[in-house]
Chain A
Amino acid sequence: MNTLRVLLMLAWRNLWRNHRRTFIMLAAISVGVWAMIFMTALTQGMVNEMVKDGVSALPGHVQVHHPNYRDDPNINNLIPMADTELSAKFAAAGFEQWASRIKVPAVITSERESRGVTLLGIDPNRERDLTFVDYEDIDGRFLEDEADKGVVIGRKLAETLDTDVGKRIVIMSQDPKNDIADRGFRVVGLFGANMQSLEETYVFAGKQTIQKLLSVGDHVTELVAMGDDYRNVEPVYEKVVKLVDDSVVVNRWFELDSYLGTMLRVMDGFVLIWVVVIFLALSFGLVNTLVMAVFERVREIGLMLALGMKPSSILGQIIIESMLLLVIGLAIGNVLAVASIAPLNSGIDISIVAEGMEMMGSASVLYPQLRMEDVILANVVVLILGFFASLSPAWRASRFQPIEAITRVD
């Protein structure tokens, strides 16, 4: 115990013998650590937004479909169980959020244009917290209940169709008998979304109205349930599986949107790679510093060995010196990172590159996300790898022959 204290003191004092070199090394480590954490926070923020947007662009966390629906989202692939019966079960099961809806491809036509869209027959009260649509940010009004006879379309779509709130449009789709189901609807509201593609793709109408239009009685194509965290959907998944029979399939969001699911996994891996790459660059500086420190002190180390200090203590002394350097660097780096992320919490406007980001499925405001796991990961990786990097110079120092070392002439 006593040796350790002595070693610690020796290492600490050695560190400040050439304080300029130490400061330079500290600066390098701090900037490196800052870059690790800051960039990780940015990437995580981006992925987080993408997943949240992706999940609110309707998959929810867990969905129930007819087994064929995902391959062929047409109205024939209805959930076989009646909606009222299922809804009652879901309501009793106590989900954070859940909803049942009809989701089919349709064509929307105005006097001048027609476009292919995804028609959603929803219960607006159930969907409030599920969708990407902000009910307060609607030109006109949102749907009032599931029997609402109006439709709500995106602002961009309204522009393309040259229509507006209060005008009529025609929606055409197919009923289960393959006959054309069409009807005039009055546009009651326009919604905005953070991605143009959402405004162009989705058309909302009342669930009952759509059920009647498509003559599907009391059936829906999709059930969706939400838990409280998109990274942990298993509890919701298991709960849903218990509620339905095997005439339907249950999927988690990362199966429904495998691009997003893969993205999340890739990004988690990417964080580690990023940290390691920065560390590799850092380690050259670190090893170089230690080698120099040892090189300068050959005679001194020889003397210590001659006086009876064990080689393992020499080893420990150098490693402790390196660890002290890293810990101070990490501390400064962490503080820097937190300090530089905090003012950006309200989001970074990257709308200059919005179009490109949208292709990736990301919105044009970036919220950096500082996650404890990532910070710990960066610190632990730096410490462990730093330990291994300093082994080699320390090992060499501990193997000096005392006589040779003392008598060495530089």
Chain B
Amino acid sequence: MVQRSMAMRNILITALVMLPLVSGAENPDASQIVRDAVNHWRGVASYSEMTMVIHRPDWERAMSMQAWTKGDDKSLVRVIEPKKDRGNGTLTDGNSMWTFSPKVNRVIKIPSSLMGQSWMGSDFSNKDVAKADDIIDQYDHSLLSVSEEDELTIYEIQSVPHEEAAVVWGREVLRIREDHVVLNHSFYDQDGELVKSLESLEIGEMGGRTVAMRQRMGEVDAPDEWTEIRIDAVDYDVDIRDNLFTLSNLRNPRE
């Protein structure tokens, strides 16, 4: 057994070492690919309308939301439908996160103890939402393979979190198409077992860019529990004022 896993590792290492040679002249830099993908998906600033579908074996619910993002770390999400959740909002700025619910009329800063909890009942955690771009600088990226599909190159990138990064995963594997669309983002535990994955089910043109229009997050252990994000409309490079991302705007929407 040990022998075999050693052999496997050797093959893997060889493959890793050989890769840059194989991919030839372009010599793509893995972390650059990841960075481009994140920037592509997010833009300098964006406004989008989306629907989040939470699916469980015995029920399913949909929420439609508006979202604004600016730069690397500012975002605001506000629920429009269903009516009883209308006005619920989430603001992130850097590593901090606040929520507002009109029912209790109070802005709550999400304490560290709740960062691992689910965001609005979905399969995303608060941390997934607040720290979506940690993937750029908290990991070591390496190119696993390059393949081709429908005349588009697909890079498979393995991202291993730094020793002290606040990430529990053993490694994450991203499949990124050459037009910067993330096809698949898988999270493996430290034994190398797949725990959950984020998959792009539909890819299309929107707001002048090719983006994943339907993404599904689900755990491997619970195949009929998942959350889908469907992008209904997106506008990139819109002019968004900084004061949109403030606590007072979270409480009293100005636009």
Contacts and interface: CB of A to CB of B under 8 A. Distances in A.
A174 interface: yes
Interface in A44-91: none
Nearest to A182: B166
B223 to A, nearest CB: 16
Contacts of B121: none
Contact of A179 (B96, B168, B190, B195): B96
Interface in A156-209: 163, 167-170, 172-174, 178-186
Contacts, number: 66
A116 B166 contact: no
B109 A107 contact: no
Given A179-B95, A180-B115, A111 B109 contact: no
A184 B170 CA distance: 11
Interface stretch (B15-23, B79-87, B157-165): B157-165
A163 B168 CA distance: 10
B189 A112 contact: yes
Contacts of A183: 164-166
A169 B116 CA distance: 13
Contact of B163 (A112, A167, A186): A186
B206 interface: no
Contact of A184 (B109, B113, B165): B165
Contacts of A185: 164
Given A168-B190, A184-B161, A107 B167 contact: no
B108 to A, nearest CB: 12
B24 to A, nearest CB: 35
Contacts of B195: 111-112
B10 interface: no
A173 B116 contact: no
Interface string B174-208: 00000000000001011000010000000000000
Interface of B is mostly: loop
Contact of B95 (A116, A180, A184): A180
Contacts of A112: 189, 195
B168 A172 contact: no
Contacts of B190: 111, 163, 167-168
B169 interface: yes
B252 interface: no
B57 interface: no
A74 to B, nearest CB: 10
A111 B112 contact: no
Nearest to A173: B112
Bin the interface of chain B by size: 20 to 34
Contacts of B113: 105-107, 116, 172
B115 A168 contact: no
B111 A110 contact: no
Interface string A133-173: 00000000000000001000000000000010001111011
B225 to A, nearest CB: 15
B167 A170 contact: yes
A313 interface: no
B116 A109 contact: yes
Contacts of B95: 179-180
Given A111-B189, A111-B190, A111-B195, A180 B168 contact: no
A110 B161 CA distance: 14
A184 B116 contact: no
Contacts of B109: 178
**Residue among B109, B168, B190 having the largest count of chain A Cβ atoms under 10 Å:** B168
Contacts of A178: 109
Interface string B134-178: 000000000000000000000000000111111111100000000
Contacts of A105: 113
Interface in A205-244: none
A174 B115 CA distance: 11
Contact of B115 (A107, A169, A184, A186): A107
Contacts of B168: 109-111, 168-170, 184
Interface in B112-129: 112-113, 115-116
Contacts of B96: 179-180
Contact of B116 (A114, A163, A168, A186): A114
Contacts of A169: 168
A167 B109 CA distance: 30
B167 A172 contact: no
Contact of A170 (B166, B170, B189): B166
**Residue among A178, A181, A183, A184 having the largest count of chain B Cβ atoms under 10 Å:** A184
Contacts of B189: 111-112
B82 to A, nearest CB: 29
A168 B163 CA distance: 8
Contacts of B169: 111
A173 B111 CA distance: 8
Interface in A93-120: 105-107, 109-112, 114, 116
Interface of B: 95-96, 109, 111-113, 115-116, 161-170, 187, 189-190, 195
Interface of A: 105-107, 109-112, 114, 116, 149, 163, 167-170, 172-174, 178-186
Given A111-B187, A172-B115, A182-B166, 5 more contacts: A112-B195, A168-B170, A170-B167, A181-B112, A184-B165
26 contacts: A106-B113, A107-B113, A109-B116, A111-B168, A111-B189, A111-B190, A116-B113, A163-B190, A168-B163, A168-B168, A169-B168, A172-B112, A172-B115, A172-B166, A178-B109, A180-B112, A180-B115, A182-B112, A183-B166, A184-B161, A184-B162, A184-B163, A184-B165, A184-B167, A185-B164, A186-B163
The 5 closest A-B pairs by CB, nearest first: A182-B166, A172-B112, A111-B189, A114-B116, A180-B112
